[in-house]
Amino acid sequence: MAIRLPRPHRDDLRIAVGGLLGGLLLWAIGLASRAAGEPTVLWPARWVVLVPLVVTAACELLRRTRPKAGLLIGTAAVVADTVTRGSLVTVVMFTDLMYAAVLYGTPAAARRLPWVTGLLTVLGTVTPLALWRDPKGMLIGVGFGVVALAPAVTGWVVRNHRDAAETARLRAEQTTLLAEMDRVQAVAAERARMARELHDMVANHLSAIAIHSTAALSLDDPKTSLEALVVIRENSVAGLAEMRRLIGILRDGAADEQTAAVPTLDGLGALVEQARTNGLDITLDAEYAGVPAPVELAAYRIVQESLTNALKHAGAGRVTVTLGQRDGVLDVRVTSPYGDRGGPRAPGSGAGLVGMRERTALLGGTFDAGPDGPLWTVCAALPVHEARQGETR
């Protein structure tokens, strides 16, 4: 099976071609690093210089895709170049191979190469001086430092800056992603809150309108129709006022104190009276003191939605609303007759129970609704102390 080498980067191809052409130009004009008569020149023939040159140029094609292999082969080529008349271009391309091995190689290679080249530079400087007692021997270490250590350190510095920039970019992307997730969650939470508010404020009035308009159309009795129309008008006006209040809250800077007023438990009396006008037989028993605003709003909305459901679905009989406070918990309990209902009724979507359950969960309370013998019972336990602590934070 043939082994396919990775395709070289186009910049590496340019470097290889440029280095090869530069080396050939120096060879053509007869410019070499060493004279033919020097003792270290084992192959003085001019053409031998081209072999390390071509090999090193070929290694440049691997500087990104296979930096380790390119450096090893290039090292062998530059060592061979030292026993020929030598080409400056071969040495320059080797420095680029060392730089690329640190920059594009593995993290382990990037850490080791500067230390290895630094150690060899020290040994190349100290050993000849100790053996030959000639200061000129130090030039061997200096030359090795320029050819190997300097490119390795440069590659290490550039790699560190590149990795730091990449880390910063990833951190910025992560921060942007988290911010977008927070924004989406905040928008979803706000939409859910506004949906609950809209349902709780308008559903009660629209249900009364639907039931009484059905009764007016079903019964051929002028007095009953007139009473139904009165109730329909009252609920239409009240529903329109609630919608205007909600629109005022949504408009930036358009909500004054009256528009932005939040229902409190002190308004339960008016709420019960409105339900009685709509035809419900209700008794109210409420005892509470020092209830935080979030709990007041949740309790008010739960009672409001329970009365709406009773208006739409409850049979004939009394509806009881009970509020009591005990051990830091506000208990809300609404019961209504459960069973088949005669007469007109309004359709339900189930959104009311979902909204009551969500309001209770947001305060860390418990909620339950369902049949209990002949009654339909809605029970909510709303922690008072936790809500008060949340307000002061």
pLDDT digits (tens, 9 = 90+) for 338-384: 766 555 454 555 567 888 888 888 888 999 988 887 888 999 999 98
Strand-strand pairing, 318-326 and 366-372? unpaired
HEC-encoded secondary structure of 117-172: HHHHHHHHHHHHHHHHCCHHHHHHHHHHHHHHHHHHHHHHHHHHHHHHHHHHHHHH
Indicate whether 289 and 389 sit together in one domain: yes
What range defines the domain where residue 119 resides?
10-174
Q: Is 60 exceeded by the pLDDT of residue 194? A: yes
Q: Is residue 165 part of a domain?
A: yes
Of 122, 139, 174, the residue at which a domain comes to its end is 174
Tell me what percent of the chain is helix, strand and coil, each rounded to the nearest 5. 65, 10, 25
Cα 215 → chain centroid: 53
Higher-pLDDT residue of 26, 211? 26
Give the mean pLDDT of 322-326.
Answer: 89
Query: Does residue 227 have a pLDDT over 80?
Result: no
Is 198 inside a domain boundary?
Answer: no
User: What is the pLDDT, as a whole number, of residue 241?
Assistant: 72
Residue 299 vs residues 13, 48, 216, 328: alpha-carbon distances, Å: 75, 95, 33, 14
For residues 150-159, give the mean pLDDT.
Answer: 93
CATH number, position 371: 3.30.565.10
Structure token digits, residue 331: 């208990």
The per-residue pLDDT for 257 is 41
User: For residues 98 and 139, what is the distance between their CA atoms, to the nearest angstrom?
Assistant: 20
Assess if residue 50 is contained within a domain.
Answer: yes
**Mean pLDDT for the chain?**
80
Mean pLDDT of 146-172: 92
| pLDDT at residue 254, as a whole number | 45
Identify the top-confidence range among 67-71, 124-128, 338-342: 67-71
Domain membership flag for residue 231: no
Asked if residue 291 and residue 152 are part of one domain, the reply reads no
Please, are residues 282 and 204 in contact by the beta-carbon 8 Å criterion? no
The verdict on residue 4 lying in a domain is: no
Domain count, the chain: 2
SS3 category, 40: coil
Is 292's pLDDT higher than 90? Answer: no
The pLDDT tens digits of the residues spanning 23-56 come to 899 888 888 777 776 776 677 788 888 999 999 9
CB 102 within 8 A of CB 156: yes
Burial class of 254 by CB neighbour count within 10 A (0 to 12, 13 to 18, 19+): exposed
- Over residues 268-282, the pLDDT tens digits come to 888 888 888 877 888
Checking if the pLDDT of 105 tops 50, the result is yes
124 inside domain: yes
- pLDDT at res. 207: 66
Residues 6 or more apart whose Cβ sits within 8 Å of residue 374? 337, 338, 339
Domain C-terminal end among 174, 201, 223? 174
* Residue 140 and residue 276 in one domain: no
Q: How confident is the model at residue 200 (pLDDT cuts 50, 70, 90)?
A: low
pLDDT of amino acid 67? 92
Last residue of a domain, one of 157, 174, 191: 174
What is the pLDDT, as a whole number, of residue 152? Answer: 93
Q: How confident is the model at residue 217 (pLDDT cuts 50, 70, 90)?
A: low
Quick one: CA dihedral 98, 102, 104, 107, positive or negative? positive
pTM above 0.85, yes or no: no
Q: What is the pLDDT of residue 366?
A: 92
350 within domain boundaries: yes
How high is the pLDDT of residue 312?
Answer: 76
* Residue 337, domain member (yes or no): yes
pLDDT band at 76 (very low <50, low <70, confident <90, very high): very high
- pLDDT value of residue 307: 85
370: left (phi over 0), alpha (psi -120 to 50) or beta: left
Query: Which of the four pLDDT bands, split at 50, 70 and 90, describes residue 393?
Result: very low
